[in-house]
């Protein structure tokens, strides 16, 4: 999962003259990186176009990670990033108006989904990381449902880039 850091090469997010972060199309290297992360998820019986398959991977990996003693846990970042990209792809399938965008000047790379007007709509990588750490196991379905039935309207402000917590109960 990528997020804003103070160690960005430019010291901060690149911002437009109105002070809002700028969003760019992923460059070819970033697109290859995203596809390599998708490959981490592919396996027998896993179809990344089926929400239940992606959610099953998330639940399995999240439960295994939390069941492992902290000293023996793997670095979840590649898993979280791959799952976040898969969820973003599912959102794009449900909402063809959404496009992957990179937050300009942000290091490490930060991906969001934006609408045709380049307004941020979702931050699936952040959502996945938040649900993973909180052990919230029903967030993917909730997010897909919420965004599929609630398109961003031109007269409505874009949502915050903060993750939306699901109302689903978490695993203890």
- What is the per-residue pLDDT across 16-28, written as a single tens digit (0 to 9) for each? 556 678 899 999 9
Structure-block tokens of residue 111: 């991906």
- What is the per-residue pLDDT across 82-118, written as a single tens digit (0 to 9) for each? 999 999 999 999 889 999 999 888 777 789 999 989 8
CA-CA distances (angstroms) from residue 33 to 19, 37, 78, 101, 125? 29, 6, 11, 14, 14
């Amino acid at each position: 999962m990528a997020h804003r850091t103070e160690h960005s090469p430019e010291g901060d997010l690149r911002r437009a003259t109105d002070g809002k972060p700028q969003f760019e199309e992923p460059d070819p290297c970033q697109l290859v990186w995203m596809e390599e992360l998708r490959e981490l998820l592919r396996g027998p019986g896993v179809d990344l176009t089926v929400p239940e398959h992606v959610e099953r991977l998330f639940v399995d990996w999240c439960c295994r990670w939390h069941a492992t003693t902290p000293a023996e846990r793997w670095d979840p970042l590649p898993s979280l990033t791959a799952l976040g990209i898969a969820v973003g792809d599912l959102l794009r399938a449900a909402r063809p108006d959404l496009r992957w965008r990179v937050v300009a000047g942000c290091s490490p790379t930060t991906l969001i989904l934006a609408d045709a007007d380049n307004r941020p709509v979702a931050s699936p990588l952040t959502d996945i990381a938040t649900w993973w750490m909180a052990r919230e196991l029903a967030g993917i379905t909730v997010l897909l449902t919420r965004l599929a039935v609630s398109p961003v309207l031109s007269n409505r402000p874009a949502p915050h880039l903060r993750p939306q917590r699901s109302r689903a109960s978490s695993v203890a």
